[in-house]
């Protein structure tokens, strides 16, 4: 047994959840908090001996915090159903839990995440990040209704030393099955971002930002962050990211004009 709980929130994730759960270290506690799936999500979770519960979805941070509250072990790993631990990362986490490094003063740790897009493991164009995903139970919580982030309160955050993991220690993020799936999520997220802005915030959206941010987004990702080195998928991702920035602002402006 590893002193680690893995918490996952789900909704109709039968196509991806099994791959996620199969990548976890052996001996962990698995907690799956569902928000009303109509497919085999809970059945698949049960096949991996996960503790399951159902809760009405209100926002991402609240849902993840509710899942954390179900965990019982000292350390918690929060991942999404569309994410997979590489073998190196899975083994590294097993080695880390219970090691002297895990007993230092830090309460949370960042793990490197790498996006898969159009069938390719992306390397450039701002497609890799390091969100806080591993933390001690009871030391913090997720914030923000969308694009939620974990913050330790008041502990410090670090990044686990490479010697505990080795090369290739990634969270592999299979966020989009294809471009059709991308645009489904695109519309959902841009609408949620617009909806959570108050009227006063909408009035402060500058037209200059509306025009320049999409251009900057493409230039930053494709040229400055070397997205062109990822070939055609790199070009598509940079262009779609700039469109995302444009539509996000446009939906806010549309609300303000009604």
Q: How confident is the model at residue 29 (pLDDT cuts 50, 70, 90)?
A: very high
Does an H or E element contain 6, and which? strand 4-10
Instruction: Give the CA count within 13 Å in the CB-facing half-sphere of 256.
Output: 18
Is the pLDDT assigned to residue 205 strictly greater than 70?
A: no
123 φ/ψ angles, rounded to the nearest 5 degrees: -120, -25
Q: How confident is the model at residue 203 (pLDDT cuts 50, 70, 90)?
A: low
- Spatial contact of 192 and 132, defined as CB atoms under 8 Å apart: no
Q: Domains for the chain: give ranges and CATH numbers.
A: 4-173 (3.90.550.10), 179-257 (no CATH)
Is the pLDDT assigned to residue 164 strictly greater than 70?
A: no
State the pLDDT at residue 210: 77
Please give the order of strands across the beta sheet that includes 75-78: 51-54, 29-34, 4-10, 75-78, 132-136, 106-110, 156-159
Extract the tokens encoding 190.
């841009």
Question: pLDDT above 90 covers what percent of the chain?
Answer: 72
Is the pLDDT assigned to residue 16 strictly greater than 90?
A: yes
State the pLDDT at residue 204: 56
For range 170-187, the mean pLDDT: 94
State the pLDDT at residue 61: 96
**Taking the model in full, what pTM does it have?**
0.90
Is the pLDDT assigned to residue 199 strictly greater than 50?
A: no
For range 40-46, the mean pLDDT: 98
The chain-wide mean pLDDT, for the chain, equals: 90
**Highest-scoring range by mean pLDDT, 70-84, 92-106, 164-178:** 70-84
């Amino acid at each position: 047994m590893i002193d680690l709980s893995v918490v996952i929130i789900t909704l109709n994730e039968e196509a991806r959840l099994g791959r996620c759960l199969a990548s976890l270290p052996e001996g962990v506690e698995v907690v799956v908090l569902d928000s009303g799936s109509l497919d085999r999500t809970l059945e698949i979770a049960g096949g991996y001996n996960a503790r399951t519960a159902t809760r009405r979805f209100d926002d991402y941070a609240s849902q993840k915090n509710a899942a954390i509250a179900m965990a019982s072990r000292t350390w918690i790993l929060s991942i999404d159903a569309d994410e997979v631990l590489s073998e190196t990362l899975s083994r590294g986490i097993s080695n880390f839990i219970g090691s002297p490094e895990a007993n230092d003063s830090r309460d949370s740790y960042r793990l490197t995440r790498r996006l898969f897009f159009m069938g390719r493991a992306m390397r450039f164009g701002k497609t890799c990040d390091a969100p806080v995903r591993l933390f001690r139970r009871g030391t913090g919580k997720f914030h923000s209704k969308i694009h939620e982030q974990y913050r330790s309160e008041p502990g410090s955050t670090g990044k686990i030393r490479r010697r505990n993991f080795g090369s290739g220690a990634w969270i592999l993020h299979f966020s989009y099955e294809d471009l059709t799936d991308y645009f489904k999520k695109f519309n959902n997220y841009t609408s949620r971002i617009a909806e959570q802005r108050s009227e006063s915030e909408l009035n402060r959206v500058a037209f200059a930002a509306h025009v320049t941010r999409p251009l900057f987004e493409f230039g930053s990702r494709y040229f400055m962050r070397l997205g062109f080195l990822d070939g055609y998928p790199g070009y598509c991702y940079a262009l779609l990211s700039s469109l995302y920035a444009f539509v996000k602002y446009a939906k806010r402006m549309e609300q303000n004009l009604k």
